[in-house]
Structure 1
Amino acid sequence: MGKHSKNAGGKGAEAPTYAERQMFGYGTHRERLGKDALLPFDHCSLTLSPLEDPVCTPEGVLYSRAAILENLLNQKRRLKRKATQEDAKKKEELVAKAAEEQAHAAKRLKRFEQTNFGGGGATNDDDGGGAGKPSKLAGIFWLPSQAPDQSDERKTEAAASKKETTTCPITGKKLRLKDLIDVRFTRVPESQQEEVQQFMCPVSRDIFGPTSKLVLLRPTGDVLLESSYNTAVKPEASYRGVPIQETDVITLKAGRNTGFAHANNVEASKSYMVGRGSGLADLRGQGGSAPSRFALSM
């Protein structure tokens, strides 16, 4: 007796096996990324082109100076426009609030005059309770319940104290112009260079590759292999006579992956809730051109 007959709930309602679900395209599909799917370490994270006058963020993201400066400038312009709109809105709210307070003050003055000089009890006409209805708390200004509400003012002050700043386009963390660090790569001598421009570690003289783990020394701006830093620089706590603390070392981010791949992974994975061959699944990415497998094998 086969597995389908054991799990059958009725004709045409048999539960598919794992192999059949894979045929339908359900589940998680993994794909090994090649060199073309990774951004080289010497490329700008914004323009995706070779670095020109490179700079680095405190989180280890590399940018071309012109690209990141233009991005930060656009962010400042956007924040300024937003702040201008918020200021105009606050002014309108203040004008409306002042008019409302003036109306309430006039009503309180009228109620005070009626209570003390009108010969009758105070009424709460401003509360909408009907004319002639006496107010029990009229004139008892020292009670906490009769004090003006300060919650709105506190919320306004808290919102004003929270000031938005420019952020890193990749990490989303706070980034200012003065936080950028100049980067200095050591070029490979022309006699040893290939067709493309190459860089090397100034300590070990090893050429950087796509999978090299690199660190940046903040005081000098030099880029070294992580292994060279651990063996030559870290024990001495200095490089070329410049003191180097552990807080001065920034690990550079690995090349960002392109397409649908997750960042900094050699293998990309994507889950499909609907079969890839059903026509309803999202087929964007490197596996988008794969042939349909939405059929059971006989």
Structure 2
Amino acid sequence: MTRHARNCTAGAVYTYNEKKRDAAESGYGTNAKRLGKDSIKSFDCCSLTLQPCRNPVVTKDGYLFDKEAILQYILTKKNEYSRKLKEYERLRRIEENELTQEANQKQLARMEKFVNAGKPTTTPAHKPSATLSKPTKLDDAPSTSSSAIAGSSSSISNMANGHETKLPSFWLPSECPNAGVAKAKAPDSTIYCPVSQQPLRVKDLIDVKFTLLKDGDNKRSLIAKEARYMCPITHDVLSNAVPCAVLRPTGDVVTMECVEKLIRKDMIHPLTDRKLKDKDIIPLQRGGTGYSFTNDNLQGKEKRPMLQV
């Protein structure tokens, strides 16, 4: 039987294709698959909305955002900080009141101890030690109110003894019966980038200017085109496969090949003839979604139980 036969079973080697086929049919082993194009964020899309940017801005770390989306994010974080600051001040006032009450109680306890220390410990002889009063008929019969109180104190219902106005909630940690008072913790006023988790300020955002590709196709919209932008210097088409960089003074997006071969030789902006520094060249981060992070790991793996012979 030849080695290329369709139903060849005489091979002494367990091939890779047979292993993958058996793993898929049996449900055991690691299932690895390369992610498709739809799982990768385009280089000109916002890192928050995952849509093409209308007014693109870039951070100093090279992450692209839509200006409206990132400003809304910063405003939301500032409002959240204001809310946390008010809650922190409220908890601080509660803690200060508790400390004041505790100090007053300790002061009263010391005063009572000092006053009781000056009193005589023995009863004088001319005063009777104790007076016993005979129980009256009213005292002999137990009152209905006291029996009701005793009965209510021994009740196992969670609606007795005034608990009908406050019911514990076992779904909220702060409302559990054994939950303690939350401690005041000062909130952090720093706003962090949602992608890089680095401090983010509005003045650090740099406006980005993409150069439209001159292909002569005016019938299709810009979003419908796969090739939308080009390098303003070399006229190379920009895509996820082409590393790009942003020039800080003008915001132009150029290819990294153009940066390495043309710009870094003299460190002069080719369009404006301005002197550039190393910090003026910001590499644009590509890709990056919930499935793949900046094109470093494009393979999804699912680990399953494995049987070994």
Give TM-score, length-normalised by structure 1. Answer: 0.63
Q: Distance in 1 between matches of 2:20 and 2:56?
A: 50
**Partner deviation per Cα, 1:87-128 (whole Å, 9 max, x = no partner):** 11111001111121233344456667889xx599xxxxxxxx
- Give secondary structure in 1 for the equivalent of 2:239: coil
Aligned to 2:76, which of 74, 81, 89?
74
Question: Does residue 178 of structure 1 match 2:239?
Answer: no
- Give secondary structure in 1 for the equivalent of 2:45: coil
Aligned CA-pair RMSD: 3.2
Question: Does residue 216 of structure 1 match 2:257?
Answer: no
Paired residues of 1:28 and 1:271 also in contact (CA < 8 A): yes
What corresponds to 2:191 in structure 1?
166
Paired residues of 1:25 and 1:272 also in contact (CA < 8 A): no
Q: Distance in 2 between matches of 1:242 and 1:168?
A: 30
- Give secondary structure in 2 for the equivalent of 1:55: strand
**Partner deviation per Cα, 1:143-165 (whole Å, 9 max, x = no partner):** xxxxxxxxxxxx98xx54x7232
Residue 215 of structure 1 and its aligned partner are, at CA, apart by 0.8
Aligned to 2:92, which of 90, 93, 100?
90
User: After superposition, where does 1:217-296 map in structure 2 within 5 Å?
Assistant: 217-239=247-269, 240-257=272-289, 260-265=291-296, 267-274=298-305
- Flag the structure with larger Rg: 2
Q: Distance in 1 between matches of 2:244 and 2:212?
A: 15
Q: Distance in 1 between matches of 2:218 and 2:238?
A: 12
Paired residues of 1:215 and 1:225 also in contact (CA < 8 A): yes
In structure 1, the gaps of 5 or more residues are: 1-16, 121-154, 276-298
What corresponds to 1:46 in structure 2?
48
- Give secondary structure in 2 for the equivalent of 1:27: coil
Question: For the structure 1 residues 224 and 113, does the alpha-carbon distance in structure 2 shift closer, same or farther, using more than 3 Å as the test?
Answer: farther
Q: Distance in 1 between matches of 2:285 and 2:24?
A: 35
Residue 22 of structure 1 and its aligned partner are, at CA, apart by 5.8
Paired residues of 2:81 and 2:188 also in contact (CA < 8 A): no
Question: For the structure 1 residues 20 and 55, does the alpha-carbon distance in structure 2 shift closer, same or farther, using more than 3 Å as the test?
Answer: same
Question: For the structure 1 residues 113 and 266, does the alpha-carbon distance in structure 2 shift closer, same or farther, using more than 3 Å as the test?
Answer: closer
In structure 2, the gaps of 5 or more residues are: 1-18, 121-182, 223-227
What corresponds to 1:34 in structure 2?
36
Amino acid at match of 2:233: V
Q: Distance in 1 between matches of 2:265 and 2:219?
A: 34
What corresponds to 1:148 in structure 2?
none
Paired residues of 2:31 and 2:304 also in contact (CA < 8 A): no
Paired residues of 2:287 and 2:293 also in contact (CA < 8 A): no
Count of residues paired in the alignment:
220
User: After superposition, where does 1:149-164 map in structure 2 within 5 Å?
Assistant: 160=186, 163-164=188-189
Q: Distance in 2 between matches of 1:262 and 1:67?
A: 20
Greater mean alpha carbon deviation, residues 264-273 or residues 36-45: 264-273
Paired residues of 1:72 and 1:166 also in contact (CA < 8 A): yes
What corresponds to 1:130 in structure 2?
none
Paired residues of 2:229 and 2:237 also in contact (CA < 8 A): yes
Q: Distance in 2 between matches of 1:214 and 1:97?
A: 59
- Give secondary structure in 2 for the equivalent of 1:203: coil
Q: Distance in 2 between matches of 1:25 and 1:245?
A: 55
Q: Distance in 2 between matches of 1:94 and 1:77?
A: 26
Residue 41 of structure 1 and its aligned partner are, at CA, apart by 1.1
Aligned to 1:188, which of 208, 213, 219?
213
